[in-house]
Structure 1
Amino acid sequence: MTAGRPFIVAIDGPAGAGKSTVSRRVASRLGFAMVDTGAIYRTVALAATRRGIALDDDAALAVLLPELEIRFSPSPGGGQRVLLGEDDVSVEIRTPPISLGASKVSARPVVRAGLLDLQRRLACAPENRGAVLEGRDIGTVVFPDADAKFFLTASAEERARRRHAELGARGDASTYDEVLADQLRRDKDDSERAIAPLRPAADAQLVDTSGLPLDAVVDALVRELEARLSGDGRSEA
């Protein structure tokens, strides 16, 4: 652990690999803060859309970013809410159009630079024993010296199945084929973009979640992290 800051866990992976759910559960099990950087970029995309700002308009995005008050708050039913000012946008940022919008704004250097300090401040708050950060460049740019880095993946079909079930539970009528097409398009955009492309950090542990209950993935990561926290240095995940 780096002196003067909490224990930092970086978790990345393509859409639908389970990284958001796994990150939340790992953070809860360890008593760590959860910083959902994907939710931050989604919220930027939502705010820009609401104001009619094109998602590739760097000048307008640069003006928008300092005006945004993005924070997380505990949810009464467990987990956390995403707040834009006093507006709870937790559900609105998870729609397919905002998901694609998040992929677009997160490829803009002005946005990534503008949110860097926010992500670090949320993770390093004095009350945090540790923090789990889920997002694209956590282990390479935001916290290149993160204490643990994991890259979760799964087959495209498995990821689309999970996403379709998640959207259905929220009342979204998208078909499986539509979800799969959106996901493949997002994977292509994320993998080919020049800024923070989708690929694991050189020192990240790859975890294939295909066919695995997410609880089993959480158990494996928690065992690994508890071992690192205890200082014995073993690697099981």
Structure 2
Amino acid sequence: MLPVDAHCTYRAPINVETRRRLTLALAITAVVLVVELVGGWLAGSLALLADAAHMLADVAALGLALIAASIAQRPATPQRSFGFMRLEILAALVNGAVLFAIAIGIGVEAWRRFRVPPAVNGALLLGVAAVGFIANLGAVSVLHRGHEHSLNQRGAYLHVLSDLMGSVGALIAGFVVLVFGWTLADPVISVLIGALVLGSAWRLVKESTDVLLEATPTHIALADVHDRIASVPGVDSVHDLHLWTVTSGMVAMS
């Protein structure tokens, strides 16, 4: 037992590297957004303009992730004695919800294009998509390292990964339109991309919700922990055992 004058303080682990990576990815994504917006307007390409709208949502998502990662470093207060660490989890949940909306939007736009295939400048579409692909590949590589340890960074990573898939789809669509003149290639590929985005969104929302509901971490068997504690000499019984995730990479037990 702690003496009556004992006290404990805790601050969230420093994630300077996470914030640096998010900042760099945000800068890259913002540049690609401008390139696709201008390119789509010049080419009269609804595909590029739609992807630019997708990029705008991702810029907002990356900004949210960066803000959450920064605020999470603040020390605990008397009103918030556990600190602000779970803001990263909330940001991941919001990012997952935005990904859901993006996937649905892609599906709706694809259906519209199936009905009325738009005229697209295949050459310009291909060129702008190539620039977007290279830039998005850079953003993905920036966020890939360490994304499995932080739900917040994973949410941002999934956003830029969906951007990369969008660039690949735009490249393929641009090539097919330019070489074969088949404009339906764009909505066909969009549906496939939307399905991939939807799957990523579902996993992110599920994991974020599990953390907020203080579910037992999937990599820990509660029964095994119970048995290990019960086997310690001097322990008569174990009651009301709880294991939960406070924030990414931090598990608590009571």
Q: State the TM bucket, normalised to the shorter chain.
A: under 0.3
Question: Normalized against structure 1, the TM-score is what?
Answer: 0.28
More helix per residue: 1 or 2?
2
Larger Rg, first or second structure (1 or 2): 2
Question: Normalized against structure 2, the TM-score is what?
Answer: 0.26
More strand per residue: 1 or 2?
1
Which structure would you say has the larger RCO, counting Cα contacts within 8 Å and 6 or more residues apart? Answer: 1
